[in-house]
Amino acid sequence: MKTLDNISKKGPITGLLAGMLGASKILSPSPIKEWFKVLEKDILDKEVPSNLSLKNRMEAYLNGFTRKRYCWYDLKNSSDLDLYLNDFTIQLIRTKVHKNSKILSDKELFFNYFKEKGLVDYSPKLYSVIKSRETDGYKKIDELSKKKDKVVLKPLKGKGGKQIYVFEKIGENFLVNDEYYKSEEVKSLIQSFNDYILTEYCDQAPFLKRIYPGSANTLRALTIYQNKAPRIVHSFLRIGTEKSGVVDNMSQGGLTAEINMRTGELSKGAEFLSSGKVKWHDKHPDTQKEIRGTVIPNWNKIKDKMLDLFSDLDDFNCVVWDVLLTGEEDFVILEGNNNCPTFRGHQIHTPLLKIQDFRNFLATKNILSYTC
């Protein structure tokens, strides 16, 4: 009956698929059940191009991809479909490969982890933890803003660049994410917060500021550990836009540019559209500064220094590190991700199973896409 109800409400194709998935979720074990949750959400997503044929939709689903990824990666016209890490396999990685995810999903634990490792110089300073709508949260921000140029407030647990605030004191008032707020408005804003951390604002390297100064533009380094030895298998630069605001996240409208691991040269930038399309940029759409062909200064020294640091952060199997370059050879680690990355920022540029080291790593963990 539920399937018939779905058909009447959503149309024959979507309704039938949703009904079938509802039954499958009951019968299937995790992590397959988790994939069915992703698939059901995808079926109900109305922003994906409606002209995607039933044949293409079924090809996407049967190969473990959501429709958006099928469109973003242009798998309809790709001969490398089996080299892309699909959504089903990503669920397996999250549940069977990652370890110590709790450290990375809680920012207070993350800062304490760096402190225990004696690596506080490689992370922004943690000033305070604001919990349970603290009434003195405003006082903390006001005092710090008088001493510092800017401070950052972000959720203890969160992803996608949501609810991140940059505060800057301007006279008796504030700039909050580049918008003017009166002190009373900031007090009201702070009192609505639950479980946030207040951290140092780290300024980015000059070449990043030239490309786009409105956000901290971070490097993402997909790093695997074998016998506790790290290897960066792929990396890209996230670049903010006017659309993404003070963050550079892809989900907020930021761009991604692949980094040539040998030379440090950037590719053209990819912008993910909610329709499932990708818009490519040789130049930044707002500043008109070159993206494609820009070379990260002192790339090989930075890469070696990152690998040296990552060798001390050896309590994980696979992490996507968010790195902010702050100078010629300097950087800080803003966070690590191993329980939420979808890998789309990597795979829009390179199918990850095309990288033999990563493929071998997954094989040692008994995790490989069933399309391989």
Q: Enter the tokens of residue 304.
A: 């070696």
In eight-state DSSP terms, residue 323 is E
CA distance 59 to 336: 33
CA distance 340 to 326: 25
CA distance 266 to 121: 27
Alpha helix stretches (DSSP H) within the chain: 2-10, 12-27, 32-43, 54-62, 67-72, 87-92, 101-105, 107-116, 137-147, 183-191, 206-211, 299-310, 344-347, 356-364
What dihedral do alpha carbons 119, 122, 125, 126 form, nearest 10°? -60
- The CATH class for the domain spanning 125-200 reads alpha beta
- Residue corresponding to tokens 């890209």: 236
CA distance 118 to 352: 33
CB 217 within 8 A of CB 239: yes
Q: Could you confirm whether domain 101-120+205-351+359-364 is CATH 1.10.10.10?
A: no
CB 161 within 8 A of CB 244: yes
pTM, rounded to two decimals: 0.87
HSE-CB of 129 using CA atoms within 13 angstroms: 12
Ordered per-residue pLDDT tens for the chain, 372 residues: 344 344 444 455 555 555 555 544 444 555 667 677 777 878 888 777 667 888 998 898 888 898 889 999 999 999 999 999 998 888 888 888 888 888 998 889 999 999 999 999 999 999 988 876 666 778 888 888 878 788 999 888 766 556 788 998 888 889 888 889 998 888 888 877 888 889 999 999 999 999 999 999 999 999 999 888 999 999 999 999 999 988 898 988 999 999 999 999 999 999 999 888 899 999 999 999 999 999 999 999 999 999 999 999 999 999 999 999 999 899 999 999 887 678 999 999 999 999 999 999 999 988 874 444
Using alpha carbons, list the distances in angstroms from residue 135 to 140, 147, 180: 10, 21, 22
Residues of the chain with CATH 3.30.470.20: 101-120+205-351+359-364
CA distance 52 to 49: 6
HSE-CB of 224 using CA atoms within 13 angstroms: 17
Largest CA distance in the chain: 64
Other Cβ atoms less than 10 A from the Cβ of 160: the count is 12
CB 320 within 8 A of CB 221: yes
Strands of 179-181's sheet, edge to edge?
126-130, 196-200, 151-155, 165-170, 173-176, 179-181
In eight-state DSSP terms, residue 298 is T
CA distance 175 to 270: 30
All residues at 6 or more sequence positions from 193 whose CB lies less than 8 Å from its CB, including other chains:
130, 133, 137, 153
Nearest one of 310, 315, 314 to 333, comparing CA atoms: 310
Residues of the chain with CATH 3.30.1490: 125-200
CA distance 240 to 362: 31
